[in-house]
Structure 1
Amino acid sequence: MNITDAAQMYHEKMFPRYVSRFLETDPEFIERFDNFAFDEVVNQDDLNDRTRMMAILSVLIGCQGIDEFRAMHPAALNFGVTPVETKEIVYQSVPYMGIGRVLPFLYAVNEILTSRGVELPLSGQSTTTIETRLEAGIAAQVDIFGEHMRDFWQSGPEESKHINYWLASNCFGDYYTRKGLDYKQREMITFCFLLAQGGCEPQLTSHAAANIRLGNDKSFLIKVISQCLPFIGYPRSLNALRCVNEAAAKSE
């Protein structure tokens, strides 16, 4: 095998003293994957390790990569992603992925944190109540997307307008208002959930625009896509790039 020094050093930072069994069973594959993912890709741009790991955890939820999530979660913690941040990533994925797809990741996070001596539950991060969640959710939508979202919660046909109400009160009022991550981080991980699951290109374009509006500019989003590519593949990465280009063009 010819794994580069840079790839070996990065792997050691992620997984100190861990020797993968794939070095024995799949040496040719691991040579090319590690050299690509942990040398060529991580050295492509200046995205910091914490942000990279938050994005990777998010796309692994989005693509349902539970085994790789279990492997990368400790690496994220080693790079400074906090237990609160990992919990918030999982929690926020629920309105975008549904509990049916998220539950295995919640179990995994709890198991990994417990194994590292973290006492659960973590300190509460909620800032709303059942009575205040709608108003706070509307405020979050306006802050992130703009003033046109002020009355969105009560728009739409009578038979389906309750979904727009839920979007404001549940998706934004219950999750975006939590502490632990700021709006820019929450929009980045939402972008990652959507790009990784595929089939959500209209929503992905909308959230790319929201990211840009908050300061996660086109260059930043391309860095995020690039760093996630080894974990989600080329088709969904290229789709995400197209959505970012569309959103950026509209924002000019």
Structure 2
Amino acid sequence: MNLKITDPEYIERFNHFAFDEVVNAEESLDTKTRYMAILATLIGCQGTDAYREMLGKALDDKVSPIVIKEVVYQATDYLGYGRTLNFLNITNEVFAERNIEMPLESQCTTTLEDRLEKGIEAQATIFGEHMNEAWKAGTINKWLADNCFGDYYTRKGLTLAEREMITFCFLSAQGGCEPQLIAHSKGNMNMGNDKEFLIKVVLQCVPYIGYPRSLNAINCINKACK
């Protein structure tokens, strides 16, 4: 359904806000970062139709298919397979429509034997040396190290700073993850994504998650700075 025909007043105001006022704001981001944040946010809020739309725009603006796939893959850590599969399928459908050959070039850097070790290294790099022992606290802590960080954060295609940024977007878009959002705000800052940068990320995602979750995210950023 063409919203310009069925809902012209709505789409006029939304398009003006999202693609003019927000994109051209003083607090805007470079093209790649903006699309990464928006796609991660749409996965986080389960916006399947909007994701398909913005995925096409991202590809039109030359965002790499590898970057896009890495955003989708990492969503599994923070939303689970049940809420990520639709987005992986949509991505594959759009890639196929555009004749993007799959599978893409491998970005994996770990094996099943060293994923725990490499995951612990990634955790310690982001959150500090105390993470070297955190995996011993319980089964889920070990899985955070070997699966969340060892299987995903160690992949090529995105830097650790970029991975922390999209994690921030997954968490802020879901809602109800404020303790984790504060922690990952700190992780972002440790990776050089400072308060001003994170606020820019939130502002660029306002059209896609609305004001309540955007204001909550800014509140978490402020708490992380204390």
TM superposition score normalised by structure 2: 0.98
Query: C-alpha offsets along residues 109-134 of structure 1, whole Å, 9 cap, x if unaligned?
Result: 00111111111111111100010000
Q: Who is 2:196 aligned against? A: 219
The Cα shift of 1:62 comes to: 0.1
Percent sequence identity is 60
Q: Who is 2:2 aligned against? A: 21
**Larger relative contact order, structure 1 or 2 (CA cutoff 8 Å, min sep 6):** 2
The Cα shift of 1:139 comes to: 0.2
1:170 aligns with 2:147: yes
Q: Who is 2:30 aligned against? A: 48
Name structure 2 gaps, 5 residues minimum.
none
RMSD across aligned positions (CA): 0.9
Pairs within 5 Å for 1:1-252: 21-44=2-25, 45-155=27-137, 161-249=138-226
How far, CA to CA, are the matches of 1:46 and 1:104 in structure 2? Answer: 29
For the 8 Å contact 2:118–2:154, the answer to whether it is kept is: yes
How far, CA to CA, are the matches of 1:80 and 1:189 in structure 2? Answer: 19
Letter paired with 2:132: R
Larger Cα-atom Rg: 1
Query: C-alpha offsets along residues 137-196 of structure 1, whole Å, 9 cap, x if unaligned?
Result: 0000000111111100002xxxxx100000000000000000000101000000000000
Moved over 2 A (4+): none
Question: Which one is further off, 73-82 or 168-177?
Answer: 73-82
The Cα shift of 1:95 comes to: 1.1
How far, CA to CA, are the matches of 2:124 and 2:62 in structure 1? Answer: 31
How far, CA to CA, are the matches of 2:94 and 2:16 in structure 1? Answer: 27
How far, CA to CA, are the matches of 1:117 and 1:92 in structure 2? Answer: 24
How far, CA to CA, are the matches of 1:147 and 1:129 in structure 2? Answer: 23
How far, CA to CA, are the matches of 1:238 and 1:98 in structure 2? Answer: 25
TM superposition score normalised by structure 1: 0.88
Name structure 1 gaps, 5 residues minimum.
1-19, 156-160
The Cα shift of 1:80 comes to: 2.3
